[in-house]
């Protein structure tokens, strides 16, 4: 078989040795394999990469997050040593813009110690270059559990969608785990486990138990969400999660692959394309709240950013900009808060979690 990628060779070896591979295992290998994983071997962001996130669209996004953090810090009682934890910081663009905007509150900036949770050596180097001029103490960690205890603000922008997702397919006999095998033509293809998952119906939300045959249900491990809720409840603070997904648990196959800003087959070029799946905000909230945290939202990204004042910020930037730059600002604002298919405003959601003593975080009132 010509031009088989090294990671695909390993995946085929594992399937041959152990049988069809669960979707979550496949996704974890594709994204996080230490030698050949998509996130561990490259910078996937920007025009030369495979996708563009909101912080790369405009500085306004990060600036709104910076003002949100400063307001939360005041709600927390202005602790002198604040851990700002970002899960999956990308190039560091959002944090750079956020902390620049937060200069309007010098006491807040002086309290900040950055803790960046990152598995990619390539992105870690980029983050250091992006943020070194801020002269803020910075530490990197492979997981949230490695960050030291203490009052924290946690940010997760397009992080949860990249966590491995499990899938089950309904048949007349029950729900079967969806897996990946090698077919007679030597292609990677989807299949299902021969036996249904015991008592799976009892784990499903009640509204989904009567789903028709061939329905697909997705779920993720609750590990990160539970740790987030546990940390906030124990140490104080708040978390902001912005991602694309559905407000309530739902049926549907949302696993998708993107390469060079175009959709691709998830089973082609493993390790060379990005794999994501929609975030189930209902399940995320259930896990965090089970640890004692209070949940808020989710809101559409459009509503959240408008409440934080992004339109006013755009007007301020335009007042100081040349005509060509003014048009760019309008286009970026439309991309961030637009609610049509080209915009991120309705597809992306914002949810917050907080220590119960904090009250309602900014933007989630009402």
Can you read off the two tokens belonging to residue 228? 């987030």
* Confidence class for position 221, pLDDT limits 50, 70, 90: very high
How many other CB atoms are there within 10 angstroms of residue 113's CB atom? Answer: 16
- pLDDT given for residue 42 in this prediction: 67
* Confidence class for position 40, pLDDT limits 50, 70, 90: confident
- Which position has the higher pLDDT, 307 or 39? 307
- Burial class, 198, CB count within 10 angstroms (exposed 0-12 / middle 13-18 / buried 19+): exposed
Nearest to 11 by CA among 219, 221, 271: 271
DSSP sequence for 266-297: TTSSTTTSEEE--EEHHHHHHHHHHTT-EEEE
* Backbone torsions φ then ψ of 242, nearest 5 degrees: -125, 125
* Confidence class for position 35, pLDDT limits 50, 70, 90: confident
Render pLDDT for 41-51 as a digit per residue (tens, 0 to 9): 766 654 444 55
Strands of the chain, DSSP E: 21-22, 82-87, 112-117, 138-141, 152-157, 166-171, 174-182, 188-192, 216-219, 237-246, 256-259, 262-264, 274-276, 279-280, 294-300, 348-354
Render pLDDT for 172-217 as a digit per residue (tens, 0 to 9): 999 999 999 999 999 999 999 999 999 999 889 888 999 999 999 9
* Confidence class for position 1, pLDDT limits 50, 70, 90: very low
- pLDDT given for residue 241 in this prediction: 98
* Backbone torsions φ then ψ of 341, nearest 5 degrees: -65, -25
- pLDDT given for residue 260 in this prediction: 62
Render pLDDT for 132-157 as a digit per residue (tens, 0 to 9): 998 899 999 999 999 999 999 999 99
Render pLDDT for 334-359 as a digit per residue (tens, 0 to 9): 999 998 888 898 999 999 999 999 99
What mean pLDDT is reported for the chain? 92
Residue 218 has pLDDT above 90, yes or no: yes
* Confidence class for position 34, pLDDT limits 50, 70, 90: confident
Render pLDDT for 225-268 as a digit per residue (tens, 0 to 9): 999 999 999 999 999 999 999 999 999 999 999 876 677 899 98
Confirm if 84 and 113 have CB atoms less than 8 A apart: yes
Give whole-number Cα distances, 248 to 90, 200, 251, 259, in Å: 27, 18, 10, 28
- pLDDT given for residue 44 in this prediction: 60
């Amino acid at each position: 078989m010509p031009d088989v990628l090294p990671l695909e060779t390993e995946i085929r070896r594992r399937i041959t040795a152990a049988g069809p591979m669960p979707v979550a295992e496949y996704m974890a290998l594709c994204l996080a394999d230490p030698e050949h994983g998509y996130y561990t071997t490259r910078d996937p962001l920007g025009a030369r990469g495979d996708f563009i996130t909101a912080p790369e669209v405009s500085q306004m996004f990060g600036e709104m997050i910076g003002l949100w953090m400063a307001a939360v810090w005041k709600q927390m009682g202005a602790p002198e040593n604040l851990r700002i934890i970002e899960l999956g910081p990308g190039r560091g663009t959002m944090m750079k813009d956020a902390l620049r905007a937060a200069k309007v509150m010098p006491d807040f900036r002086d309290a900040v110690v950055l803790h960046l949770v990152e598995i990619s050596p390539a992105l870690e180097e980029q983050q250091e270059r992006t943020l070194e001029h801020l002269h803020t103490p910075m530490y990197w960690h492979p997981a949230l559990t490695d960050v030291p205890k203490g009052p924290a603000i946690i940010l997760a922008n397009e992080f949860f969608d990249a966590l491995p997702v499990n899938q089950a397919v309904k048949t007349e006999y029950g729900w079967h785990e969806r897996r990946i095998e090698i077919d007679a033509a030597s292609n990677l293809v989807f299949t299902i486990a021969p036996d249904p998952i015991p008592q799976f119906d009892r784990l499903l939300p009640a509204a989904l138990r009567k789903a028709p045959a061939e329905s697909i249900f997705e779920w993720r491990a609750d590990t990160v969400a539970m740790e987030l809720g546990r940390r906030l409840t124990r140490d104080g603070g708040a978390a902001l999660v912005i991602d694309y997904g559905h407000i309530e648990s739902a049926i549907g196959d949302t696993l998708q692959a993107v390469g060079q800003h175009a959709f691709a087959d998830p089973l082609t070029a493993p390790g060379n394309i990005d794999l994501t799946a929609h975030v189930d905000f209902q399940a995320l909230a259930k896990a965090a709240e089970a640890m004692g945290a209070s949940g808020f939202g989710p809101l559409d990204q459009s509503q959240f950013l408008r409440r934080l004042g992004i339109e006013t910020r755009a007007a301020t930037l335009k007042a100081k900009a040349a005509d060509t730059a003014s048009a760019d600002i309008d286009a970026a604002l439309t991309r961030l808060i637009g609610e049509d298919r080209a915009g991120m405003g309705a597809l992306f959601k914002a949810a917050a979690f907080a220590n119960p003593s904090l009250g309602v975080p900014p933007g989630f009132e009402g």
